[in-house]
Amino acid sequence: MANNLGRRHFLGLAGAGAGAAALAACGGPSTGGGTGASGAADIDFSGVKPASSIDFWTNHPGKSQDVEKAIIEKFQAKYPEIKVNLVTAGANYEEIAQKFQTSQAAKSALPGLVVLSDVWWFRYYTNGNIIPLNSLIKQLDIKVDDFQKSLVADYQYADKQWALPYGRSTPLFYYNKDHFKAAGLPDRAPKTWQEFAEWAPKLKASSGAQYAYIYPALAGYAGWTLQNNLWGWGGSWSNEWTINCDSAESVEALQWAQDSIYKDKWAGVSSKEAADDFAAGITSATIASTGSLLGVLSSAKFNVGVGFLPGGPKKETGVCPTGGAGLGIPSGVSKEVQLAAATFLKFMTEPENTAAFSAATGYMPTRTSADMTAVLAKTPQIKTAIDQLAVTHVQDNARVFLPGADQEMAKAAAKILTQQGDVKATMTELKSTLEGIYTKDVKPKLKS
C-alpha cells in the first residue's frame, strides 16, 4: 500500500493471531460512542451450534454464478449439515446494497452472508448492520494473515475486522497491441499520462479506431478510476476527512482530462462499458477493472496488452486504487445463522477456492498462498494485476465512506467530461455537496 497511514491506524486484532497484528495498514478513522456499530463488542459464540441453512446474497461479481455454485457444492460435500442457498440479490453492487438496506428497514428476511461493495459497507458498519468478525476468526481459525494485506485491511476499523475480501480488483490499463505496433509505439502501458498524450495522435492516425483512449463509463466508475488522475497530479477527492476536490491540483487533473476530449480530440467517454468498447476495437486503450479481463480476452479479435495505471506530473507510482467487494455477516440474524455463515465464509475464501474464483473471473486471488500456477499459465495477464497490488493506494475517504458520494462524483465528472462544464466551478460545487454529506451523515458517528 502507498503510505497514507494517518488515515488508517495500526490495528491489533484481539484474538486473531499474531499474523493479524502484522496487517498494519489501512484500518480507518476511530469510531465510537453510542451510534450504530461504534464500540461494538466481540460476540461470544461459545456453545453455539451452526444453523442448518443460510442464504448467501450475491450479485455474482465478474459473472461468477457458475463458480459460486461449484464452491457451494464443494462446501455441501464437506458440511452436509449446513445448506447454503445461493440468492441473486441484485445485478450489481448498488442493487444488492439497496435490497440489503430495504431488508434492514423492514426487518424482513436477512441473509447469513452478503456481498458488500467498497462504497457501501462502511455505512452498514456505522449503522450497526454488520458484526465484527474477530471472535469468529478466532473460533474458526481463519488465517487472516494469509490474505493479501492491502485487501483484508480495507475492512479493518476500530480495531476490528468487519468483512473479508471476495471479488477484489484494481483498475488495469488495457491496450491494443496491434494498434500500438502499427503506430510504432512500445509494447507496454505508458508510464505517465503525459507520455500517452504524446502517443495518442500516432494511435489516432494509424489505428482506424474512433478514439486513442476512452474514459470508463461515469456512472459507478468515475469516482473510482479518476482517483488515478487526481493522485498523479497531486490532487484527490479528499485528504482524510478534508474535502479538497477543488484544489488546484485536482482541477488541473480534470482540466487535462477534459482537454483530451474537447481540445486534443483523442479521447472519448464510454456510454456503458469501456471494456466492451475496447474489445470491440472502438478505442486503442482504456482503463477497466481486472474483473473485466477474462471477458476482454475472450471477445477481443486482437492482441490484448495490460499494464499498470499511468502516473502523472507529480506522482508516477502508487496511483492505483483497489476496489471491488467483500463478504460480511448481518447483525440482525441469530448467532446460529452467523456461525453457519462464518463457516461458509471461511470455506469460500480458502486458497483453493479463491484461486478458482480468480481463474473464473479475473478478480484478485485474495490469499497469498493461493496456487495460481495453472491460472497464470492460461491467463498470464493476471500476473500484472497481482504485481500492481504492491503499488496500490488506499482510496480517498470521500469516495468510499460518504453515502452517495460516488454518484455525486459521477455527476460532476459527467458535467466536466460530457458537457464541457467549467472544471473549477463544478469541483467547487461538488466540494460543497460532499461536505454536506460528511457533516450530516458521517461526522456524528465518528469519535471526536
| Residue predicted with more confidence, 120 or 1 | 120
Does the pLDDT at position 70 exceed 80?
Answer: yes
pTM of the model: 0.84
Distance CA 381, CA 375 (A): 10
**Which residue is associated with the grid cell 453510542?**
34
The stretch 291-307 carries a mean pLDDT of 94
**Confidence bin at 291 (pLDDT 50/70/90):** confident
Does the pLDDT at position 132 exceed 80?
Answer: yes
Per residue in 193-221, pLDDT (tens digit) is 999 999 999 999 999 999 999 999 988 68
pLDDT of 219 reads 80
pLDDT of 220 reads 65
- Helix, strand, coil % over all residues of the chain, rounded to 5: 45, 15, 40
Mean pLDDT value across the chain = 88
pLDDT of 447 reads 60
pLDDT of 40 reads 64
- Asked which of 36-50, 58-72, 179-193, 235-249 is least confident by mean pLDDT, the reply is 36-50
Grid cell in block for residue 236: 484527490
Percent of the chain with pLDDT over 70: 90
Distance CA 140, CA 138 (A): 6
What residues form DSSP beta bridges with 53?
83
pLDDT of 62 reads 82
pLDDT of 12 reads 29
pLDDT of 20 reads 28
The stretch 284-296 carries a mean pLDDT of 92
CATH 3.40.190.10 intervals, the chain? 18-168+323-370, 171-321+394-443
What are the phi and psi torsion angles at 16 (to 5°)?
-90, 0
Question: Of 225, 241, 257, 269, whose CA–CA distance to 434 is shortest?
Answer: 241
Per residue in 361-393, pLDDT (tens digit) is 888 899 999 999 988 998 899 899 999 988 998
Does the pLDDT at position 41 exceed 70?
Answer: yes
What's the Rg (C-alpha) of the chain?
22
Does the pLDDT at position 3 exceed 70?
Answer: no
The stretch 117-126 carries a mean pLDDT of 87
Architecture of 171-321+394-443 per CATH?
Answer: 3-Layer(aba) Sandwich (3.40)
pLDDT of 21 reads 26
pLDDT of 63 reads 86
pLDDT of 37 reads 46
The stretch 62-73 carries a mean pLDDT of 94
pLDDT of 19 reads 29
Distance CA 78, CA 371 (A): 21
Per residue in 316-334, pLDDT (tens digit) is 999 999 888 999 999 999 9
**Three-state SS at 84:** strand
Q: What is the DSSP string of 256-314?
A: HHHHHHHTS--EEE-SS-HHHHHHTTSBSEEEEEGGGHHHHHHH-SS-EEEEPPPB-SS
**CATH of segment(s) 18-168+323-370:** 3.40.190.10
The stretch 237-263 carries a mean pLDDT of 97
**Confidence bin at 29 (pLDDT 50/70/90):** very low
Q: Is 107 exposed, middle or buried (0-12, 13-18, 19+ CB in 10 A)?
A: exposed
